[in-house]
């Protein structure tokens, strides 16, 4: 079964070589019960670890079933540890946070076998611990813990059982119980290789190998011959290794998730503090993006009031002796100017005039000082002012200079309160007007409340209320945005021609409202991005906290990692378990952060009146990012855990 020829192993402690094995050669037949004895430092444990695929020799040959072990990679060695051999350690190496039956079924997890719980129960029953299956290691005596370790070593039906000082930490009674179990297993055909420093324990084996200073001094059998154990067919190590799939199965993945949750809940306070970083990070991202989206939505709503493809033409001003003569003092527009601009096909789609002023509005015993805006028929469609309740002025009403009004939301609230204003009479500068509509809400634009306004027909405003014989401003809707520059040039030419303006001065001004829209949209997007980036930084800080905790966890659980590798865990198994643990913490923090962020957005809207909007995109982005943080910041600790040497991990203090 086992053939070792001239193997050597050297360790270096502070650059000082320690020759653990020096030219050791031996062979072991199937069914033997071998005890390896020797004082501390004789190399007996090192030999056991090499025979059990936990370590590799520096020189020499180690064959098992005629297969050279040195040619096998780490994954194949892990599979052999899982399928071919079982380990019983002096320190028991039981996972402290799980029960006896869960400790026993651990090798089955890495074997990917079904019916794990039933098989583990059968092995516990075989070592007399069926009634203690739900107890954790700290609730078991030393002898009971060692019996759990034996059950764990046997659960995969290994051909070889390695025992490293199995009675070293036990009392006399427990020692006898453990040795009785080992003798029974050997009688059933198991090959047992045991390391011990006690003569009375070694004498219960059928063969005793004595070592000193890394060499075999004596190799004898109690009856003077090598016993023939149970017959075994020669096995192909490659066939055994191929039984382990290279990728994780669904059952293994679910078990890794389960064990990750166990690890997280075993350190609740520390895990929660780690999650807090992600929680606040995701909450900040959600809240800041909600604030940005709310500002964007509010800005879009306000931009609608500017209209699309719109040009604004206003009269300029001249200067006399360094003093301005006032806006419109040079160029004063007329209805003929509007008609002339409307005739600029194919550039102009429609045009409308406007004039402004202020007035006192009175209804019954309520009064309010507000803005008055005279507007033409097309103004409502161009400036997104078509009333949602009531109607706009008709062309006939404008021509007749009728006294009708469309009021803004602010005016409605100030003088009507909860009353329906449609059809009611109000006084504007002591002139009775009939309310025919309520303008849609536009919000504030800079310092000006765009809803604090009363719209009346342009002719009525000019000749009955404001006393003007000219138009303050002309709005022009261009047919297509691509014609904007050409339209501005044509409009400028026709105004100069009609008003005999021969110099390029500031006697009138044409503003492109689409440019204002683009500027405001760009500013809003920039602010949203800035807020999101600032919040993302806090999420990255939370990720660094997760990585730090995972590194601490790897250090604390080094022995556990060594144990898992000793019973067959591959690097991929360890890597996946720690990655899952990291992702679970960040994902949990992400879910709680979404709730926190949505709550913060609601508070900002309710307490400060800020516009907020929690979008599905921000939730998906934050959740995805939190998972990415778990993978990104958990990868290094997980790789560090996966690359640990099983022997060095088991010896870690």
What pLDDT does residue 272 have? 84
What pLDDT does residue 89 have? 86
Q: Is the pLDDT of residue 504 over 80?
A: no
**For residue 35, what are the β-bridge partners?**
194, 208
169 vs 522, higher pLDDT: 169
What pLDDT does residue 215 have? 92
Both 270 and 157 in one domain: the answer is no
Phi, then psi, of 103 in degrees rounded to 5:
-65, -40
531 vs 473, higher pLDDT: 473
109 vs 302, higher pLDDT: 109
What pLDDT does residue 514 have? 63
Q: Is the pLDDT of residue 317 over 50?
A: yes
What pLDDT does residue 647 have? 84
Q: Is the pLDDT of residue 23 over 80?
A: yes
pLDDT confidence of 585, banded at 50, 70, 90? confident
Please give the tally of structural domains in the chain: 3
Q: Is the pLDDT of residue 67 over 90?
A: no
> What is the average pLDDT value for the chain, to the nearest integer?
83
Q: How far apart are CA 198 and CA 505, in angstroms?
A: 111
**Domain span holding position 489:** 332-500
pLDDT confidence of 230, banded at 50, 70, 90? very low
Q: Is the pLDDT of residue 457 over 70?
A: yes
What pLDDT does residue 243 have? 57
Q: Is the pLDDT of residue 397 over 90?
A: yes
What pLDDT does residue 238 have? 57
Name residue, tokens 């206003």. Answer: 314
Both 285 and 338 in one domain: the answer is no
Both 133 and 200 in one domain: the answer is yes
Average pLDDT over residues 624-648: 86
What pLDDT does residue 249 have? 57
What pLDDT does residue 346 have? 87
- Indicate whether 509 belongs to any domain: no
DSSP letter for each residue of 339-369: HHHHT-TTTEEEEEEEEEEEEEEEETTEEEE
From residue 419, alpha-carbon distances to 69, 202, 366 in Å are 93, 102, 12
- Indicate whether 158 belongs to any domain: yes
What pLDDT does residue 329 have? 47
**Model's pTM, two decimal places?**
0.64
pLDDT confidence of 403, banded at 50, 70, 90? very high
What pLDDT does residue 318 have? 44
Average pLDDT over residues 523-548: 76
What pLDDT does residue 322 have? 44
What pLDDT does residue 237 have? 60
Q: Is the pLDDT of residue 390 over 90?
A: yes
- Indicate whether 33 belongs to any domain: yes
Both 464 and 598 in one domain: the answer is no
603 vs 267, higher pLDDT: 603
- Indicate whether 95 belongs to any domain: yes
What pLDDT does residue 288 have? 79
Residues near 437 by Cβ (< 8 Å), separated by ≥ 6?
387, 389, 390, 391, 392, 406, 407, 422
Sheet hosting strand 191-195, strand order edge to edge: 85-88, 160-164, 191-195, 33-37, 207-212, 215-221
- Indicate whether 641 belongs to any domain: yes
Closest by CA to 49, choosing from 22, 13, 81, is 81
Both 172 and 26 in one domain: the answer is yes
Residues near 220 by Cβ (< 8 Å), separated by ≥ 6?
207, 208
Q: Is the pLDDT of residue 590 over 70?
A: yes
What pLDDT does residue 223 have? 64
Q: Is the pLDDT of residue 421 over 90?
A: yes
Both 393 and 473 in one domain: the answer is yes
Q: What is the pLDDT of residues 474-483, one digit of tens each?
A: 999 888 878 8
Both 368 and 446 in one domain: the answer is yes
Least confident of 70-74, 83-87, 290-294, 484-488: 290-294
518 vs 151, higher pLDDT: 151
Q: For residue 316, what are its two tokens?
A: 């300029």
Q: For residue 558, what are its two tokens?
A: 């080094």
- Beta carbons of 4 and 26 less than 8 angstroms apart: yes
Both 528 and 599 in one domain: the answer is yes
Q: Is the pLDDT of residue 235 over 60?
A: no
- Beta carbons of 45 and 195 less than 8 angstroms apart: yes
Name residue, tokens 């209320």. Answer: 465
Q: What is the pLDDT of residues 607-628, one digit of tens each?
A: 877 778 787 887 887 788 788 8
Least confident of 46-60, 112-126, 258-272: 258-272
From residue 310, alpha-carbon distances to 95, 179, 306, 350, 354 in Å are 73, 96, 7, 10, 14
Least confident of 168-172, 188-192, 359-363, 575-579: 168-172
pLDDT confidence of 227, banded at 50, 70, 90? very low
Average pLDDT over residues 248-259: 68
- Indicate whether 109 belongs to any domain: yes
Both 80 and 205 in one domain: the answer is yes
Q: For residue 650, what are its two tokens?
A: 């088991």
Both 533 and 470 in one domain: the answer is no
Per cent of the chain over pLDDT 70 is: 87
What pLDDT does residue 193 have? 94
- Beta carbons of 189 and 18 less than 8 angstroms apart: no
C-beta atoms surrounding 180 within 10 Å: 11
Residues near 306 by Cβ (< 8 Å), separated by ≥ 6?
383, 384, 513, 516, 517
Closest by CA to 317, choosing from 327, 302, 332, is 327
Q: Is the pLDDT of residue 20 over 80?
A: yes
List the CATH number of the domain containing 38: 3.40.50.300
Last residue of a domain, one of 440, 467, 500: 500
- Beta carbons of 408 and 414 less than 8 angstroms apart: no
Q: What is the pLDDT of residues 338-348, one digit of tens each?
A: 999 998 888 89
Residues near 576 by Cβ (< 8 Å), separated by ≥ 6?
248, 253, 256, 638
pLDDT confidence of 460, banded at 50, 70, 90? very high
What pLDDT does residue 16 have? 83
Q: Is the pLDDT of residue 222 over 90?
A: no
What pLDDT does residue 281 have? 79
Q: For residue 125, what are its two tokens?
A: 């029953």
Name residue, tokens 């604390």. Answer: 556
Please give the torsion angle defined by the CA atoms of residues 207, 212, 214 and 218, in that order, rounded to the nearest 10 degrees: -30
Q: How far apart are CA 577 and CA 583, in angstroms?
A: 10
Q: What is the pLDDT of residues 344-383, one digit of tens each?
A: 888 899 999 999 999 999 998 899 999 999 999 999 888 8
Phi, then psi, of 68 in degrees rounded to 5:
-75, 120
- Indicate whether 388 belongs to any domain: yes
Both 84 and 200 in one domain: the answer is yes
* Length of the chain in terms of residues written: 653
- Indicate whether 50 belongs to any domain: yes
Please give the torsion angle defined by the CA atoms of residues 391, 392, 394 and 399, in that order, rounded to the nearest 10 degrees: 140
Last residue of a domain, one of 221, 247, 273: 247
Both 239 and 287 in one domain: the answer is no
Q: Is the pLDDT of residue 304 over 90?
A: no
Sign, CA torsion 584/585/590/593: positive
Please tell me what DSSP assigns to residue 418.
T
**For residue 352, what are the β-bridge partners?**
475
């Amino acid at each position: 079964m086992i053939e070792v020829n001239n193997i050597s192993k050297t360790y270096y402690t502070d650059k000082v070589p320690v020759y653990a094995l020096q030219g050791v050669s031996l062979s072991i037949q199937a069914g033997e019960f071998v005890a390896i004895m020797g004082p501390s430092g004789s190399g007996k444990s090192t030999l056991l670890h090499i025979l059990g695929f936990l370590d590799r020799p520096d020189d020499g040959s180690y064959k098992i079933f005629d297969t050279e072990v040195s040619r096998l990679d780490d994954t194949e060695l892990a599979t052999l540890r899982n399928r071919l051999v079982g380990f019983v350690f002096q320190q028991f190496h039981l996972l402290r946070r799980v029960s006896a039956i869960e400790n026993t079924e651990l090798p089955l997890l890495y074997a990917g076998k079904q019916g794990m719980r039933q098989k583990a129960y059968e092995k516990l029953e075989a070592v007399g611990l069926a009634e203690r299956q739900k107890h954790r290691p700290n609730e078991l005596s030393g002898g009971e813990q060692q019996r759990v370790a034996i059950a764990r070593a046997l659960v995969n039906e290994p051909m070889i059982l390695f025992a490293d000082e199995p009675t070293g930490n036990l009392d006399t009674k427990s020692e006898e119980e453990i040795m009785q179990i080992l003798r029974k297993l050997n009688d059933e055909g198991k090959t047992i290789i045991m390391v011990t420093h006690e003569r009375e324990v070694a004498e219960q084996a059928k063969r005793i190998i004595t070592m000193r200073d890394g060499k075999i001094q004596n190799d004898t059998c109690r009856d003077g011959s090598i016993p023939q154990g149970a017959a075994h067919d020669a096995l192909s190590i490659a066939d055994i290794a191929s039984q382990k799939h290279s990728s994780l199965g669904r059952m293994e993945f679910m078990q890794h998730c389960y064990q990750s949750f166990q690890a997280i809940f075993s350190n609740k306070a520390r895990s929660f503090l780690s999650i807090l970083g992600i929680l606040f990070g995701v909450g900040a991202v959600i809240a800041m993006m909600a604030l940005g989206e709310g500002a964007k939505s509010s800005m879009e709503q306000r931009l609608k009031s500017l209209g699309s493809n719109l040009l604004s033409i206003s009269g300029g001003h001249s200067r006399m002796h360094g003093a301005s003569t006032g806006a419109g003092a040079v160029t004063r527009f007329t209805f003929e100017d509007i008609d002339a601009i409307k005739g600029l096909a194919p550039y102009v789609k429609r045009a409308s005039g406007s004039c402004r002023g202020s007035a006192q509005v009175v209804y019954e015993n309520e009064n309010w000082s507000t803005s008055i805006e005279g507007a033409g028929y097309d103004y409502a469609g161009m400036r997104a002012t078509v009333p949602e309740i009531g109607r706009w002025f008709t062309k006939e009403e404008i021509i007749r200079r009728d006294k009708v009004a469309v009021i803004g939301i602010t005016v409605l609230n100030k003088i009507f309160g909860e009353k329906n204003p449609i059809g009611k009479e109000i006084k504007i500068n002591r002139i009775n007007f009939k309310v025919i509509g309520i303008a849609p809400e536009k919000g504030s634009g800079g310092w000006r409340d765009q809803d604090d306004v009363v719209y009346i027909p342009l002719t009525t405003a000019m000749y009955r209320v404001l006393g003007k014989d000219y138009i303050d401003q002309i709005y022009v809707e261009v047919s297509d945005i691509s014609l904007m520059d050409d339209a501005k040039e044509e409009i400028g030419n026709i105004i100069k021609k009609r008003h005999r303006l021969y110099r390029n001065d500031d006697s009138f001004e044409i503003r492109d409202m689409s440019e204002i829209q683009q500027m405001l949209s760009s500013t809003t997007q920039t602010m949203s991005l800035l807020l999101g980036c600032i919040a993302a930084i806090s999420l990255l800080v939370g990720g660094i906290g997760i990585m730090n905790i995972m590194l601490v966890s790897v250090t604390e659980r080094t022995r556990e990692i060594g144990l898992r590798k000793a019973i067959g865990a591959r690097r991929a198994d360890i890597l996946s378990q720690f990655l899952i643990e990291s992702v679970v913490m960040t994902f949990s923090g992400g879910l709680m952060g979404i709730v926190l962020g949505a709550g913060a957005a609601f508070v900002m809207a309710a307490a400060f009146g800020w516009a907020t909007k929690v979008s599905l995109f921000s939730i998906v982005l934050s959740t995805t990012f939190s998972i990415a943080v778990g993978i990104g910041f958990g990868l290094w600790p997980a790789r560090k855990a996966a690359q640990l040497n099983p022997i060095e991990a088991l010896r870690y203090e």
